[in-house]
């Protein structure tokens, strides 16, 4: 994440930072995003973007969710119907929950407060989004949870 002026406070009612992500939000459950609470936006914030990734995946970081132009809000609800989304690591648009092939993996929910709307087509990649956001990030924050293949 580029250097930011402010840090967002990110938490979830589904799991604590550093805690275990409930099965409901994984490929073994309902495969929906958990609720995410966001606080301390800069007042110039025009939109939010989310990147969820697993850096412990066997073939390198796996992208679980890439979405942008989320209206500024204190809550991204469970099973959020994001309108503008990119491809995840399965090369499909939308959220895909934790689903490690083995072991215990970390999942980072990264939230960005932007000073603009992002102009990207559906199905763009995480790298496309990061490039578009580069000079527009006002603040950022993250929430990390664990999920085990044994769940």
- What is the DSSP code string of 62-74? EEEEEEEEEPP-S
Sheet holding 36-39, edge to edge: 9-11, 36-39, 75-76
- pTM of the prediction? 0.94
In angstroms, rounded to a whole number, what is the distance separating the alpha carbons of residues 86 and 137? 18
Q: What is the pLDDT of residue 5?
A: 59
| Local confidence band at 150 (pLDDT 50, 70, 90 cut-offs) | confident
Residue of 143, 120, 133 lying closest to 45 (CA atoms): 133
Residue of 69, 10, 55 lying closest to 35 (CA atoms): 10
Q: How far is CA 71 from CA 13, 31, 44, 116, in A?
A: 20, 23, 13, 11
Fold classification of 6-140 is: Phosphatidylethanolamine-binding Protein (3.90.280)
Model confidence pLDDT, tens digit, residues 32-56:
999 999 999 999 999 999 999 999 9
Q: What is the pLDDT of residue 4?
A: 44
Mean per-residue pLDDT, 110-131:
97
Domain boundaries defined on the chain: 6-140
| Local confidence band at 151 (pLDDT 50, 70, 90 cut-offs) | low
């Amino acid at each position: 994440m580029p250097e930011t002026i402010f840090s967002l406070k990110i938490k979830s009612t589904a799991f604590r930072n550093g805690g275990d992500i409930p099965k409901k939000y994984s490929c073994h459950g309902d495969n929906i995003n958990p609720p995410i609470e966001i606080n301390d936006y800069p007042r110039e914030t025009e939109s939010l973007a989310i990147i969820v990734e697993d850096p412990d995946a066997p073939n390198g970081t796996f992208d679980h969710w890439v979405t942008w132009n989320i209206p500024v809000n204190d809550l991204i609800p469970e099973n959020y119907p994001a309108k503008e989304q990119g491809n995840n690591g399965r090369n499909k648009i939308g959220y895909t929950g934790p689903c490690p092939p083995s072991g215990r993996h970390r999942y980072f929910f990264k939230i960005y407060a932007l000073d603009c709307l992002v102009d990207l087509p559906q199905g763009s990649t995480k790298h496309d989004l990061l490039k578009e956001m580069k000079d527009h990030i006002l603040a950022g924050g993250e929430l990390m949870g664990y999920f085990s293949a044994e769940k």
